[in-house]
């Protein structure tokens, strides 16, 4: 709601004043007094109408001026649009030309593309052929793999058989070595028995030598015939009372026959003879044998053990 200006306020006031003054004037028959506010009201009304007309004219002029400004702007924009349309037409013409050139280049490129498509079709056909060949090769490879697995199994079986044959060969070789050792041992025993059998003839030829009896004793000892060995060593000692080796080996034979006391006596005698002869190494060896045998005898008496052979101690 717009604010009221001064003429409008005055006009409203005069109308109210006219009505207020007219009522008493009519009541008291004073018509002249009633015309004064009415006249004033009409004058103010006329003045107000005049100002309203002037204001309306000014408003119309302002609107016309604004419309003319807008028309000028619209004309300028229209001119600018025409300029832009001209530029767009030039650009469209340029684009049409470029499009024509591009189509020409595309037509030139279509031909190699067609060749490429034909080559692609041929390549696909060749690829299909290669796939068929690869499938056949894979089937052949599967067959070869199966054959290789079968061959590997056969090879494993052959290796197993070879290992078993090698073990059997090793067993036969070991058995052969055992037989060879037994044969050598038998031959050695036969040789010793032959020596023992022929010994009396040797002794008969030269009874002054002790070597035959001593050698006989050694052969009997190797055959573990301790009683016969003891007898041969004794015969050698009877011929040569200072035969240190015969005393020593007879002591060992007595030890094997559980005659520890007699063994100690013979070993002590052998040590004395070795010392007198100047054979210090043999003296010390015999002393060690004596010591070992003495300790073994003490152990047997202390713990009441069964008589033990001493071949392992003196070998």
Number of residues written out for the chain: 315
pLDDT score recorded for residue 192: 46
pLDDT score recorded for residue 164: 77
The reported pTM is 0.37
Q: In the predicted model, is pLDDT for residue 45 greater than 60?
A: yes
Instruction: Report the distance separating Cα 73 and Cα 58, nearest Å.
Output: 22
Q: Which residue has the higher pLDDT, 186 or 119?
A: 119
Mutual angle of helices 31-205 and 211-222, in 10-degree steps: 140
> Mean pLDDT over all residues of the chain?
78
pLDDT tens across 194-236, in order? 444 444 444 443 444 789 999 999 999 999 999 999 999 999 9
Instruction: Report the distance separating Cα 6 and Cα 57, nearest Å.
Output: 20
Neighbours of 206 (CB within 10 A): 9
Reported as a pLDDT band with limits 50, 70 and 90, residue 300 is low
Residue ranges of domains in the chain? 6-90, 206-314
Neighbours of 265 (CB within 10 A): 16
Reported as a pLDDT band with limits 50, 70 and 90, residue 284 is very high
The upper half-sphere exposure of residue 145, i.e. CA atoms within 13 Å in the direction of its Cβ, equals 6
For the segment 271-277, the average pLDDT, to the nearest whole number, is 96
Q: In the predicted model, is pLDDT for residue 184 greater than 70?
A: no
Reported as a pLDDT band with limits 50, 70 and 90, residue 253 is very high
CATH fourth-level superfamily of 206-314? Tetratricopeptide repeat domain (1.25.40.10)
| Alpha carbon of residue 229 to chain centroid | 74
Instruction: Report the distance separating Cα 118 and Cα 108, nearest Å.
Output: 17
Asked whether the beta carbons of 214 and 246 are under 8 A apart, the reply is yes
- Percent of the chain at pLDDT above 70? 71
Asked whether the beta carbons of 247 and 267 are under 8 A apart, the reply is yes
pLDDT tens across 76-129, in order? 998 888 899 889 889 888 988 888 888 888 778 777 777 778 878 888 888 888
Asked whether the beta carbons of 227 and 216 are under 8 A apart, the reply is no
């Amino acid at each position: 709601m717009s604010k009221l200006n001064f003429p409008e306020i005055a006009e409203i006031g005069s109308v109210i004043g006219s009505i207020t003054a007219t009522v008493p004037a009519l009541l008291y028959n004073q018509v002249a007094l009633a015309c004064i506010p009415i006249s004033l009201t009409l004058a103010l009304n006329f003045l107000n109408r005049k100002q309203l007309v002037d204001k309306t004219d000014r408003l119309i002029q302002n609107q016309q001026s604004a419309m003319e400004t807008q028309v000028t702007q619209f004309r300028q924009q229209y001119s600018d649009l025409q300029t832009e349309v001209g530029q767009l037409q030039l650009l469209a013409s340029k684009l049409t030309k470029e499009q024509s050139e591009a189509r020409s280049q595309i037509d030139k490129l279509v031909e190699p593309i067609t060749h490429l498509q034909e080559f692609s079709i041929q390549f696909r056909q060749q690829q299909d052929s290669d796939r068929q060949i690869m499938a056949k090769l894979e089937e052949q490879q599967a067959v070869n793999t199966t054959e290789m697995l079968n061959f590997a199994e056969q090879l494993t079986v052959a290796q197993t058989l070879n290992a078993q044959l090698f073990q059997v060969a090793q067993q036969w070789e070991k058995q052969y070595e055992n037989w060879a050792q037994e044969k050598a041992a038998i031959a050695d025993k036969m040789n010793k028995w032959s020596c023992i059998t022929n010994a009396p003839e040797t002794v008969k030829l030269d009874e002054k030598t002790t070597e035959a009896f001593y050698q006989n004793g050694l052969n009997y000892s190797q055959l573990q015939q301790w009683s016969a060995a003891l007898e041969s060593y004794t015969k050698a000692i009877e011929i040569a009372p200072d035969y240190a080796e015969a005393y020593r080996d007879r002591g060992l034979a007595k030890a094997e026959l559980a005659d520890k006391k007699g063994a100690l006596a013979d070993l002590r005698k052998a040590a004395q003879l070795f010392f007198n002869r100047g054979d210090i190494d043999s003296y010390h060896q015999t002393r060690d044998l004596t010591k070992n045998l003495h300790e073994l005898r003490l152990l047997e008496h202390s713990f009441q053990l069964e008589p033990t052979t001493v071949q392992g101690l003196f070998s």
